[in-house]
């Protein structure tokens, strides 16, 4: 018996647009984010979904609502799906982080498995936390199709685990655009098989967040760029 997990990254929010670290910060949705939600809702209209879960942050919950526009399911809050707690990084402009926290900024780009802020979470904690949350969700919905709305860093860690990679290989996993979708099938022994990876084909260049940014490209990590 297979349980299907549809993983959706939240829509563009203020931090994505303004390039401000928004981990646990409950940012408002941008104008482009609202358009992304409309496009996402159409894409998900004919998807079979039995259960729907969301991070507690409003950008993820609004994304779950868009997925749910034509399904009318109860949206269940799962705290384990929340984004990384950035501690002292919260609310800071990404462009300033290499000057404010040079070692942490280097680790974020080049050795994310060693990333940790003094007042927030370590990347290793996120890697375990999100996997534990997904295991709870999958085990509670055997044989069903479940959709979760989560966040970029959290989803990247989850996909790393679904690829059966240790956290030390996190940089081999690409980032996903806002409202991008991945699909993972879990067998009865919780072995994951990736069916779809980081797909945002419902977005045009005009409605994509990544189309206007370059920080997410692998070739920019060593340079320490966050633009």
The more confident residue out of 227 and 154 is 154
Q: What is the distance between the alpha carbons of residues 85 and 75, in angstroms, rounded to a whole number?
A: 23
pLDDT of residue 219: 83
Given a cut of 80, is residue 224 above it in pLDDT?
no
Mean pLDDT of all residues in 110-125: 97
Question: Tokens for 81?
Answer: 């799906």
Given a cut of 80, is residue 75 above it in pLDDT?
yes
- Taking each helix axis from N to C terminus, what angle separates 31-44 and 58-67, rounded to the nearest 10 degrees? 30
Local confidence band at 38 (pLDDT 50, 70, 90 cut-offs)? very high
Q: What percent of the chain has pLDDT over 70?
A: 99
pTM comes to 0.97
Mean pLDDT of all residues in 179-206: 98
pLDDT of residue 164: 97
pLDDT in tens, 5-28: 999 999 999 999 999 999 999 999
Given a cut of 90, is residue 222 above it in pLDDT?
no
Mean pLDDT of all residues in 63-76: 98
Q: What is the distance between the alpha carbons of residues 104 and 193, in angstroms, rounded to a whole number?
A: 32
Residue 179: burial class (beta carbons within 10 Å; 0-12, 13-18, 19+): buried
Mean pLDDT of all residues in 171-179: 97
pLDDT of residue 101: 96
What phi and psi values does residue 149 have, to the nearest 5 degrees?
A: -110, 120
pLDDT in tens, 153-171: 999 999 999 999 999 999 9
Q: Give residue for tokens 């942050």.
A: 57
Given a cut of 90, is residue 225 above it in pLDDT?
no
Which domains are seen in the chain, by residue range? Answer: 3-220 (3.40.50.1240)
pLDDT in tens, 39-53: 999 999 999 999 999
pLDDT of residue 83: 98
Q: What is the distance between the alpha carbons of residues 56 and 195, in angstroms, rounded to a whole number?
A: 26
Q: What is the distance between the alpha carbons of residues 146 and 64, in angstroms, rounded to a whole number?
A: 12
What phi and psi values does residue 77 have, to the nearest 5 degrees?
A: -85, 130
User: Average per-residue pLDDT in the chain?
Assistant: 96
95 contacts: CB under 8 Å, gap ≥ 6: 19, 226, 227
Given a cut of 80, is residue 71 above it in pLDDT?
yes
User: Which segment of 32-41, 44-53, 150-159, 214-223 scores lowest on mean pLDDT?
Assistant: 214-223
């Amino acid at each position: 018996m297979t349980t299907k997990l549809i993983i959706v990254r939240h829509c563009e929010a203020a931090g994505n647009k303004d390039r401000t670290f928004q981990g646990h910060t409950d940012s408002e949705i941008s104008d482009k984010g609202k358009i992304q939600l409309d496009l996402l809702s159409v894409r998900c209209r004919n998807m079979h979904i039995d259960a729907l879960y969301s991070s507690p942050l409003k950008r993820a919950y609004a994304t779950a609502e868009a997925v749910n526009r034509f399904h009318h399911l109860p949206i269940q809050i799962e705290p384990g799906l929340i984004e990384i707690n950035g501690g002292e990084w919260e609310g800071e402009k990404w462009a300033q982080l290499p000057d404010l926290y040079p070692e942490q900024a280097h680790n974020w780009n080049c050795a994310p498995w060693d990333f940790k802020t003094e007042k927030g979470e370590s990347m290793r904690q996120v890697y375990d936390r999100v996997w534990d949350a997904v295991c709870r969700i999958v085990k509670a919905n055997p044989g069903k199709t479940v959709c979760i709305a989560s966040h970029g860093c959290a989803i990247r860690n989850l996909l790393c685990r679904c690829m059966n990679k240790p956290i030390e290989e996190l940089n081999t996993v690409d980032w996903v655009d806002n409202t991008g979708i991945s699909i993972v099938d879990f067998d009865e022994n919780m072995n994951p098989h990736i069916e779809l990876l980081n797909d945002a084909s419902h977005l045009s260049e005009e409605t994509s967040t990544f189309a206007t940014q370059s920080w997410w490209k692998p070739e920019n990590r060593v340079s320490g760029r966050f633009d």
